[in-house]
Chain A
Amino acid sequence: MSKNSTGKDIWVLGDYRNYFKNRVTLQILARARALAEKTGGRVCGVVFGHDVGGYTGEYIAHGADRVYVIDHPRLKSYGIETFTNLLIRLARDMNPDIILIGATRFGQEVAPRVAKQLDTGLTADCIDLEIDDKGRLVQIAPSFGGNLIARILTPKARPQMATVRPGTFHELPHDNTAKGEVVTLDLPEDLPAERVRCTHSEYRPAKTLGIEKADIVITGGRGMGSKGKFKKLFDLAGLLNAEVGATRPVVHAGWVGHEALVGQAGKHIRPKVLFSFGISGAIQHTAALMDADFIVAVNKNPDATMMKLADVAIVADANQVCSGIIRALKEKIRD
Chain B
Amino acid sequence: MENNTLDIIVCIKQVPMVSELPWNSKTGTLKRELAQGMMDPASRLALEAGLRLQRAGQLEDRRIRVTALTMGPPMAEEVLHQAVSLGADHGVLLTDRKMAGADTNLTSFILGRYIRMFKPDTGLVLCGAQTSDSETAQVGPQLACELDFPAIGWASDIRLTQRTLVVTRLVDDFMETLEMDLPGLVTIELGAFVPRYAGLAGVAQAFASPKIDVVDADRLELDRDFNALKDSPTRILDVFSPATQKESRVLKGAAKTVVDKLFTDYGKIISSAMGKDLKKK
Contact = CB atoms under 8 A, between A and B. Distances in A.
Interface of A: 17-18, 21-22, 80-81, 104-106, 108-109, 111-113, 115-117, 119-125, 138-139, 142-157, 195-206, 215-216, 240-241, 248-249, 252, 257-258, 264-265, 271-273, 280-284, 286, 290, 294-297, 302, 305, 307-317, 320-321, 323-325, 327-329, 331-334
B273 A21 contact: no
Contact of A311 (B137, B239, B246): B246
A206 B20 CA distance: 33
A106 B103 CA distance: 21
The DSSP consensus for interface residues of chain B is: mixed
Contacts of A123: 234
Contact of A116 (B23, B108, B246, B279): B108
B240 interface: yes
Interface in B175-211: 175-181, 184, 190-191
B28 A81 contact: no
B248 interface: yes
Of A112, A150, A309, A313, chain B has the most CB atoms within 10 Å of the CB of: A112
Given A148-B239, A204-B170, A321 B179 contact: no
A250 to B, nearest CB: 12
Given A240-B274, A258-B191, A311-B248, A153 B144 contact: no
Interface in B135-154: 135-142, 144-146, 150-154
B151 to A, nearest CB: 7
Given A124-B135, A148-B23, A310-B248, A294 B105 contact: no
Given A109-B153, A284-B135, A148 B240 contact: yes
B29 to A, nearest CB: 9
A120 B142 CA distance: 11
Nearest to A104: B172
Interface stretch (B66-74, B93-101, B254-262): B254-262
How many B residues touch the partner, as a band? 35 or more
Interface of B: 16, 19-21, 23, 28, 30, 41, 103-105, 108, 130, 132-142, 144-146, 150-154, 170-181, 184, 190-191, 232-242, 244-246, 248-256, 258-260, 262-263, 266-267, 269-270, 272-276, 278-281
Contacts of B190: 258
A153 B232 CA distance: 11
A309 to B, nearest CB: 5
Nearest to B240: A149
**Most chain-B CB neighbours within 10 Å: which of A122, A249, A295, A307?**
A122
A332 B263 contact: yes
Contacts of A282: 19
Given A202-B175, A204-B174, A314 B258 contact: yes
A121 B255 contact: no
Contacts of A323: 255
A17 B26 CA distance: 43
Given A199-B178, A325-B262, A117 B145 contact: yes
A154 B248 CA distance: 37
Contacts of A122: 104-105, 136, 138, 234
A11 to B, nearest CB: 17
B262 A112 contact: no
B279 A331 contact: yes
A198 B178 contact: yes
A314 B253 CA distance: 9
Contacts of A265: 130, 135
B173 A272 contact: no
Given A109-B141, A150-B239, A154-B233, A312 B274 contact: no
Contacts of B19: 144-147, 249, 280, 282
10 contacts: A109-B154, A112-B141, A143-B134, A201-B174, A240-B274, A309-B246, A312-B248, A327-B259, A329-B278, A332-B278
B250 A317 contact: no
Given A112-B136, A328-B259, 12 more contacts: A108-B153, A122-B234, A143-B236, A146-B19, A151-B237, A195-B180, A196-B150, A201-B177, A252-B132, A305-B242, A314-B258, A331-B279
B173 to A, nearest CB: 5
A308 B244 contact: yes
Nearest to B112: A116
B135 to A, nearest CB: 6
B183 to A, nearest CB: 11
B262 A296 contact: yes
Most A-side CB within 10 Å, residue of B171, B181, B242: B242
Given A149-B240, A309-B246, A333-B278, A144 B262 contact: no
A125 B174 CA distance: 22
